[in-house]
Amino acid sequence: MSAPATWNIASVRDSLLTKKASAREITQDFFRRIEARNPELNAYLALSPERALAAADRADAAVAKGATAESLPPLAGVPIAVKDVLSTKGVPTTCGSKILEPYIPAYDATAIERLEAAGAVILGKANCDEFAMGSSNENSAYGPVRNPISPDRVPGGSSGGSAAIVAAGLAVASLGTDTGGSIRQPGAFCGIPALMPTYGRVSRYGLIAFASSLDRIGPFTTNVDDAATILKIMAGHDPNDSTSAPVPVSDYPAEARQDLSGMRIGVPEDYFGAGLDPEVKAKVQASIALLDKLGATRVPLKMPHTDYAIATYYIVATAEASSNLARFDGVRYGIRVTGNTLTDMYRTTRETGFGPEVKRRIMLGTYALSAGYYDAYYLRAQKVRALVARDFSDAFEKVDAIVTPTTPTPAFKLGEKTADPLQMYLADIYTVTGSLAGVPGMSIPCGKTAAGLPIGLQIFGPHFGEGKILRLARGFEQAGGFTI
């Protein structure tokens, strides 16, 4: 088998149907790649070769029985990695934390079930910031992930492992989760498409929660068509998730192929102020000019509550984290550190099992929810969250999509911001707004800095408007925008 440097869904399917390569050969090729590159990147935490090869053999059996392009499952033989906050039956799921080091789930997350039912080959679990809390993937208890474009820099977080895996060619696609930017920001830093669906579009069943009103599951891919295909397979109502929306699933690949004529794109001036790197600003402005040439109409916007988004997010998210992580106490699962009393056991287990950033956020959230402070912090944050959401709903009465930078800077160096949590939090300044509003968002590459670091263009759409985002993203990609 002569393996290409970069596989995608279409090339895997073509290889299977033309019998240029079997799914088993492709899977084995990816495991060889992982063996060669993962020691440097630290992007995979666990591999599942038996499960992966069994799925590959099912794809090969379908081909041997005469499967056609129409009958072969859409992801047959496609190697995919999964962020280690998603439950995988029989495969360790740690959330990047020592407190869950011995945990092996008895069930699969719904998103993974749906991908495997479509023929996907699950290679293993991707490293991530502990409990998805971070913007650099330096908070993992199992060591930081390195950016494959520039290994002295971060890949972004918290889904840094998932992004690095796809950017390095160690999987065709991967799943990440996004709470305040954790899909889009790593996508921008690693130079690949990264999609956060509408809240409720993809079932959260089997996702170990950080902030339940914000967490979402989405794909990293090498092209927009693959993101559309994976979203179509994962999306849809799930009775196991009470927040899963009973909204029909669109034909995202078909929607993505429509031209951009007549599309109205909003450009909010609030996202282009102080702190935006000049090279990032120049590439984003050039990207907007390209969208103009492709037939889209630019509409200036004001989104006045953008400045309050970071403070609002870090109250809402930490409050929910404080509540969600209370379950990790050494009683039911994970590690247990014994003590003289039950309270001692709780304290020592959590002190030993949680890392510094998780402890910081639990304490912030507990304070915001405590008696005498709830109204001043959490309740007020929820009111401001409603104002941020209103900015988006007002904007989408005028436009079909909103275009902004994904991040204020390119990928920063490992260790550069670890001593200053506030500067780290500000890395999410352009992404947390869409998270608070519940709208879908996507980061796509839009060229590189003079030093060769990727830059991301962010596209927001209205609720359940993923098709509009994918349409803009694919039109931009086909016009050469990824390397603008």
pLDDT in tens, 273-307: 989 999 999 999 999 999 999 999 999 999 999 99
**Which amino acid is present at 150?**
S
167, 84: one domain? yes
Label residue 230 by pLDDT band (50, 70, 90).
Answer: very high
- The full DSSP string for 6-61 is S--HHHHHHHHHTTSS-HHHHHHHHHHHHHHHHHHH--EEEE-HHHHHHHHHHHHH
Give mean pLDDT, residues 54-58.
98
Containing structural domain, residue 331: 311-375
135, 237: one domain? yes
Helix residue ranges per DSSP H, 142-277: 160-167, 184-190, 224-234, 252-256
192, 135: one domain? yes
Is residue 316, in this structure, part of any structural domain at all?
Answer: yes
Residue after which a domain boundary falls, among 375, 410, 431: 375
Examine the residue annotation and report whether 162 is marked as an active-site residue of this protein.
no
Label residue 1 by pLDDT band (50, 70, 90).
Answer: low
Residue-level pLDDT at 5:
73
Nearest CA to 147 out of 131, 138, 160, 130 is that of: 160
pLDDT in tens, 80-117: 999 999 999 999 999 999 999 999 999 999 999 999 99
Pair 123, 79: CB distance under 8 Å: yes
Residue after which a domain boundary falls, among 332, 353, 375: 375
90, 49: one domain? yes
Is the torsion defined by CA of 438, 444, 448, 452 positive or negative? positive
213, 246: one domain? yes
Residue-level pLDDT at 426:
86
pLDDT in tens, 205-219: 999 999 999 999 999
For residue 319, pLDDT over 80 is answered with yes
Residue-level pLDDT at 6:
87
156, 112: one domain? yes
179, 277: one domain? no
pLDDT in tens, 7-25: 999 999 999 999 999 999 9
Examine the residue annotation and report whether 158 is marked as an active-site residue of this protein.
yes
Is residue 183, in this structure, part of any structural domain at all?
Answer: yes
Is residue 2, in this structure, part of any structural domain at all?
Answer: no
Marked catalytic residue, from 97, 162, 182, 250: 182
Distance CA 178, CA 184 (A): 7
Residue-level pLDDT at 422:
82
268, 211: one domain? no
18, 126: one domain? yes
Pairing of strands 121-126, 79-83: parallel
CATH number reported for the structural domain that contains residue 420 in this entry: 3.90.1300.10
36, 86: one domain? yes
Is residue 3, in this structure, part of any structural domain at all?
Answer: no
180, 72: one domain? yes
Is residue 1, in this structure, part of any structural domain at all?
Answer: no
Residue-level pLDDT at 139:
97
Residue after which a domain boundary falls, among 191, 224, 255: 255
Marked catalytic residue, from 22, 48, 83, 468: 83
Is residue 92, in this structure, part of any structural domain at all?
Answer: yes
93, 194: one domain? yes
**Which amino acid is present at 464?**
F
pLDDT in tens, 361-410: 999 999 999 989 999 999 999 999 999 999 999 999 999 999 999 999 99
Looking at the structure of the chain, the number of domains it has is: 3
Marked catalytic residue, from 140, 158, 174, 244: 158
pLDDT in tens, 419-445: 888 889 888 999 999 999 999 999 999
For residue 309, pLDDT over 70 is answered with yes
Examine the residue annotation and report whether 182 is marked as an active-site residue of this protein.
yes
Is residue 380, in this structure, part of any structural domain at all?
Answer: no
Label residue 2 by pLDDT band (50, 70, 90).
Answer: low
Is residue 4, in this structure, part of any structural domain at all?
Answer: no
